[in-house]
Structure 1
Amino acid sequence: MNLFIVEDSPYIQNRLIRFVEELPDIHVVGVSGEVQAAYAAILASDTEAMILDVQLSDGNGLQLLKNIKLSNPEIKVVVLTNHSTEANRVQALRAGADGFLDKSTDFEQIPGILHDWQQPQLSPNLN
């Protein structure tokens, strides 16, 4: 799975990269801390999944989420934020997020979420 990280903190960027590098068959194809640069890079790459922060240096990650889902609804997105208010959670899910995590308490859930996304969906045998 090709993963793009949208996070403006270099510390969190590096932590996520190290975290994901230990997971089999997941490749970080890009990292950006800015909405505009991330949008262009995601559309130009073969991104299949994203880890997305809400507050970015040049804008709101939820607007980026909406734009990405309009352009490519197949991209899976987990929002990872320090701003884990109920309002942000609801907005993220309405914008198309496939998951919503709090950086301070849910960081360890990322491998499980990415692993689940890698598994092919089992369809019933219609024969």
Structure 2
Amino acid sequence: MNLFIIEDSLLIQNRLVRFIEELPDVSIVGVSAEIAGAYDKIVDTHADAMILDIQLSDGNGLGLLKKIKSSIPEVRVVVLTNHSNEANRMQALRAGADSFLDKSTDFEQIPNILQRWQTHGPAH
């Protein structure tokens, strides 16, 4: 599985990379701290999945999520955010997110989700 990470916190980026490097058959094909240019990078790297923050330095990640899901619907997306209120969760799921996680409480679920996607496909 080719995974692309869009996260503007270097600390979270590094934590994600360390987590994911332990997983067999998951390759991180790109990391971006901003929305600008991320769509083209995701397409160019043939990403199968992405981890996406909502609040990024150059805007809201949900617009990118909608664009990805409308043009490459098979890309699976974990939204990982500090802003995990119900309104954001519903917006993310409507935009096509396959999973919605809170950075502070759900971080540990990421490896399980990625491994499940590799074997069973996304859980909706």
TM-score by length of 1: 0.93
Q: Which residue of 2 aligns with 1:84?
A: 84
- For 1:54-90, what per-residue CA distance to the aligned partner results, in whole angstroms no more than 9, with x for missing partners? 0011111111100000110000001000000100000
Structure 1 position 120, deviation (Å): 4.4
- Residue 37 of structure 1 pairs with residue 41 of structure 2: no
Structure 1 position 39, deviation (Å): 1.1
Q: Count matched residues.
A: 121
- CA-based RMSD of the aligned residues comes to 0.8
- Range with greater deviation from structure 2 (30-39 or 71-80): 30-39
SS of 2:4's equivalent? strand
SS of 2:116's equivalent? helix
Describe how 1:1-127 pairs up with structure 2 within 5 A.
1-120=1-120
TM-score by length of 2: 0.95
Spell out structure 1 runs of 4+ moving beyond 6 A: none
The residue type paired with residue 35 of structure 2 is V
Structure 1 position 45, deviation (Å): 1.3
Unaligned runs of 5+ in 1: 122-127
- For the pair shown, which has the larger CA radius of gyration, 1 or 2? 1
Unaligned runs of 5+ in 2: none
Structure 1 position 33, deviation (Å): 1.0
